[in-house]
Amino acid sequence: MGSTSAHGHEGLGRRNLVKRSAALGLIAVPTMGFLSACATGGGGDENKTDKPKGEVTEKNPLGVKEGAPLEAFIFKGGLGDQYAKDAEADYKTTYKADVKHTGTQAVGPKLTPRFSGGNPPDVIDNSGADHLDMNRLSSQGQLQDLKELLDAPSMDDPAKKIRDVIHPSTLEKGKHGDKVDVLYYAFTVYGTWYSQKLLADKGWAYPKSFEEMIKLCGEIKKDGIAPWTYPGKYPYYVHFNLFAQIAKIGGLESWIAIDNLEPNAWTSNDAVKQTVEFYEELAAKKYFLAGTEGMTHIQSQTAWTKNNAVFIPNGSWLENEAAPTTPKDFGMAVGALFDGSSADKMPQGTLRGEPSEPYIVAAKGKNPRGGMELLRIMLSKKHAQNFATKVKSLTCVMDATEGMTLSPGLSSASNAFKAAGTNLINLQLQEWYPALTDQKIGGLTGQLLTGDLKAADWIKKTQAEADKVARDSSIAKFKRTS
């Protein structure tokens, strides 16, 4: 997912192990998840970081103990893990400490027994399909409150706290109740991706509305190319755009009702109807690449980079993940959300852009202060720029890429982000209830896109699935107001 994210489904073959782990209650079920699940306020002693502790100084504001070993567990998916190793190298030099690094695509299955046994690693990039259920961990007091980190001086300007140099939505998204205990390191731009070269060569313009898109798809199909592809094995990728379109057309308030699992939030919303009917029309007119319904994310991306399809829904990790098959002159670019009509609540250029790649520090790890300090190092401009260079993605550090020469996809994402201004959409449903969005609604979306389910039935069934979650007292709930 996400995320960061949704870009690491190689772990999906581990279903049986995941099911067993889910029984322990630490993994978000049933794993085709973008980032994470659901919680209540944490209790216990998770805020006490008294083991081990060094002297607090200007250069060591978190009081990291020199020589204390650090263990980092990093999701190794579409973004790789070299960027984390680079930050770990600086930590190792500064604190003369051993750093044990594990790169994996099965964070949940590997760490569930360790959290249960009371010996989790210190810092974890909890991303990919097999992620831990952070909401549950938070409610169990397993996640370190990151207040000390957020109040610590930034590496580049000690006059500024960490909380002042990162995008405000990072703080909002990382909250469980009143505390921030998740640090979303990346900033992902979602949208409809395309090749600038292909559009230019064919004389096509990126459509601004549903109507323009449907019209262009007809032209594209006549030209012998498929208009769209998507990962049919993981149809929730389409939600990256579909959900955001609902918010763009109906306004964020109408989406917040959906995030909050309010009754009739799907069925009484005209923006839902308009958006889902758009996807129904794409399916009815056979505007998806033949065979798409059986493709993984990598297969659909490869078909797209080979120009077998013009558009693909995805997040900005795409450029790095698809790099092996992307031609040099492809001109990867991302387009903003489409207009539904002149009555849309949010303007042309509105974008879904939000924090992703969730880092957590284990409150019951051996060195939580070291875990927070590694994050402080990663939040320096040096490492934010290293991340942009290595993985072609933005971080949550504001203005970190100013003056850099960016790759085509990242440059396009950065420009779209700037053009959107305050018209940014940030969604929580996929974070809070991934089993609902990725499995239940995802299954319905898969049927919608193959033409096996009508829009009206998708809406009715989606509402029923949301209502089931709302009624399930075993699932902790969250509310958002903005």
- Residue 50 has a pLDDT of 53
Instruction: For residue 150, give every residue at least 6 positions away whose Cβ sits within 8 Å of its Cβ, in sequence order, or none.
Output: 161, 162, 163, 171, 180
DSSP 263: T
Residue 280 pLDDT grade (very low, low, confident, very high; cuts 50, 70, 90): very high
pLDDT for res 18? 33
Q: Is 318 in a helix, a strand, or coil?
A: helix
Look at 50-54, 188-192, 305-309 and tell me which has the smallest mean pLDDT. Answer: 50-54
**pLDDT tens profile 231-253:** 999 999 999 999 999 999 999 99
Instruction: Delimit the CATH 3.40.190.10 region(s) of the chain.
Output: 9-188+355-420, 189-353
What is the C-alpha separation between 166 and 150, in angstroms, rounded?
9
Of the pLDDT bands very low, low, confident and very high (cuts 50, 70, 90), residue 379 is very high
Q: Which pLDDT does position 23 carry in this prediction? A: 33
Q: Pull the structure tokens for residue 290.
A: 């033949």
Q: Tokens at residue 82, please?
A: 């070299």
What is the pLDDT at residue 33?
A: 31
Work out the average pLDDT over 294-315: 97
> What is the predicted pLDDT for the residue at 19?
34
User: Which residues share a beta bridge with 276?
Assistant: none
**Which among 171, 133, 175 has a CA at the least distance from the CA of 31?**
133
> Mean pLDDT lowest for which of 19-33, 48-62, 64-78, 213-227?
19-33
DSSP assignment of 112-160: HHHHHTT---SEEE--STT-B-HHHHHHTT-BPP-HHHHHSBPSS-TTS
**What are the tens digits of pLDDT across the range 22-44?**
333 344 433 333 333 333 233 34
Q: d(Cα 136, Cα 149) in Å, to the nearest integer?
A: 22
**Residue 469, H or E segment:** helix 455-471
Length of the chain: 482
Question: Which of 46-60, 134-148, 345-359 comes out lowest in average pLDDT?
Answer: 46-60
- What pLDDT, on the 0 to 100 scale, is given for residue 39? 31
The arithmetic mean of pLDDT across residues 5-10, rounded, is: 39
Tell whether the torsion through CA atoms of 352, 353, 355 and 357 is positive or negative: positive
Task: Name the architecture of domain 189-353.
Answer: 3-Layer(aba) Sandwich (3.40)
Residue 17 clears pLDDT 60, i.e. is over it = no
CATH class of domain segment(s) 9-188+355-420: alpha beta
Q: How many CB atoms lie within 10 A of CB 379?
A: 26
Looking at residue 176, its pLDDT comes to 87
Calculate what percentage of the chain has a pLDDT beyond 90. Answer: 81
71 DSSP β-pair partners: 100
pLDDT-derived band at 136, boundaries 50, 70, 90: confident
Long-range pairs, 437-441, Cβ under 8 A, ≥24 = 437/34, 437/236, 437/239, 437/243, 438/32, 438/33, 438/34, 438/234, 438/236, 438/239, 439/29, 439/30, 439/32, 440/465, 441/236, 441/239, 441/465
Residue 335: HSE in the Cβ half-sphere, 13 Å Cα cutoff: 22
- Joined together, the tokens standing for residue 337 give 């959300």
Output the DSSP codes for 45-87: TTT---SS-----SS-TT-PPTT--EEEEEE-STT-SHHHHHH
Q: Is the separation of the CB atoms in 256 and 480 below 8 Å?
A: yes
423-468, pLDDT tens digit by residue? Answer: 999 999 988 898 999 999 999 999 999 999 999 999 999 999 999 9
Asked whether residue 11 carries a pLDDT value surpassing 50, the answer given is no
- Give the residue ranges of DSSP H helices in 294-407: 297-305, 318-321, 368-378, 381-391
- Beta bridge partners, 123, equal 72, 361
Contact between 398 and 450 (Cβ < 8 Å): no
Share of the chain above pLDDT 70, in %: 90
Does residue 47 surpass a pLDDT of 60? Answer: no
Residue from 47, 121, 130, 131 nearest 88 by CA: 121
pLDDT value of position 482: 85
pTM for this one?
0.81
User: 6 with 34: CB under 8 angstroms?
Assistant: yes
